[in-house]
Amino acid sequence: MKKNLLVFLLIAIAFSSCGEYNKILKSTDYIYKYEAAKNYFAEGQYSRAATLLNELITILKGTDKAEESLYMLGMCYYNQEDYQMASQTFMQYYNVYPRGTYTELARFHAGKALYLDTPEPRLDQSATYNAIEQLQLFVEYFPQSPKKEEAQQMIFELQDKLVMKEYLSAKLYYNLGNYLGNNYLACVVTAQNALRDYPYTNLREDLSILILRAKYEMAVYSVIERKEERLRETVDEYYAFKNEFPDSKYAKEADRIFADTNKMLEN
């Protein structure tokens, strides 16, 4: 009996809440709607708040309430994990209100929303570049912001994702070998570009061993006219690798490549 009564009360509250919300939707008292939207936002009812705020940002245009409404709308999308809409709304905010009350937070959340929406490294990384751009703009505009460190950390993580994308591409080229062309050369170029663009990456050692492997394979399968040249390039690459990574996890493999290369040079 008590359980049935509780269910009845919950249903009654739900219908009462829906009835109140519908009444707010139909109201022409926009200050009343604005206050209701703020209450829904505070209660975490972001979908209802967003519906009201979308109407209010136009109607209340030119007032401080329109400014706050636009920022709250961005946060509604953000809290619902609709990061694309969130970033677009925050960008709209700081473009309309470049010196607004929430401009610093809007710029930060525009970048963070894009950061949270970036794909895994194997996929297209256009969104990652956009997120880095937004976060870098935030750091440039607000160098003293308490959120600067968090923004920089996100930039580093996004750059790591871009490096991983290049590493996976270089590794694929290596695995393709001589299939339909000299994929070893493509591996070398891709890995070298990644090291040039992101010199402090945590994947530096992994990219470097890929270059050594690929140069060795190019030498092994080279035409006679270029074989010695490529073998010597492999030896040079080995010394560069050992110099930078004297205690490398790939030390045994690198030493084997070096020994095999020297044997071929002696013959």
The pLDDT assigned to 61 comes to: 87
Closest C-alpha among 11, 13, 79, 5 to residue 42: 79
Helices (H), 121-250: 126-141, 148-176, 183-197, 204-220, 224-244
Q: Which long-range contacts (CB under 8 A, 24 or more apart) does 124-128 make?
A: 125/161, 125/162, 125/165, 128/158, 128/161, 128/162
With a cut of 70, list the residues of the chain below it in pLDDT.
Answer: 1-18
- What's the pLDDT at 25? 78
Contact by Cβ (8 Å): 210, 182: no
pTM above 0.85, yes or no: no
Closest CA to 37 of 10, 71, 11, 81: 71
CA distance 218 to 240: 18
Question: What confidence score (pLDDT) does residue 7 get?
Answer: 32
Rounded Cα distance between 115 and 94, Å, is: 18
> Which pLDDT belongs to residue 11?
30
pLDDT at residue number 128? 96
For the beta carbon of residue 94, count every other beta carbon within 10 angstroms: 25
